[in-house]
Amino acid sequence: MGEETLIVVIFGGLHLLGIGFAMLLLLPLLRDERVVSTWAPPEEDDSGGGGNDRVTPEPPRDPTPGGLPLPDAVPARVRLRGTVRLGDLTPPPARRREHVPAPERTPEQVP
pLDDT of residue 45: 63
94 domain residue, yes or no: no
Q: Look at the chain and report how many structural domains it folds into.
A: 1
Q: Model's pTM, two decimal places?
A: 0.29
Cβ pair 86, 78 in contact under 8 A: yes
Q: Which domain holds residue 61?
A: 2-88
Does residue 103 sit within a domain? no
Q: What is the pLDDT of residues 21-46, one digit of tens each?
A: 999 999 888 776 666 667 777 776 66
In a domain, 99, yes or no: no
pLDDT tens digits for range 69-99: 666 777 777 877 888 888 888 888 888 888 8
In a domain, 59, yes or no: yes
pLDDT at 64: 63
Note whether residue 105 is domain-resident: no
Q: Does a structural domain hold residue 72?
A: yes
| Residue 26 belongs to a domain | yes
Torsion of CA 12, 18, 24, 27, to 10 degrees: -90
pLDDT at 23: 93
Considering the domain boundaries, does residue 31 fall inside one?
yes
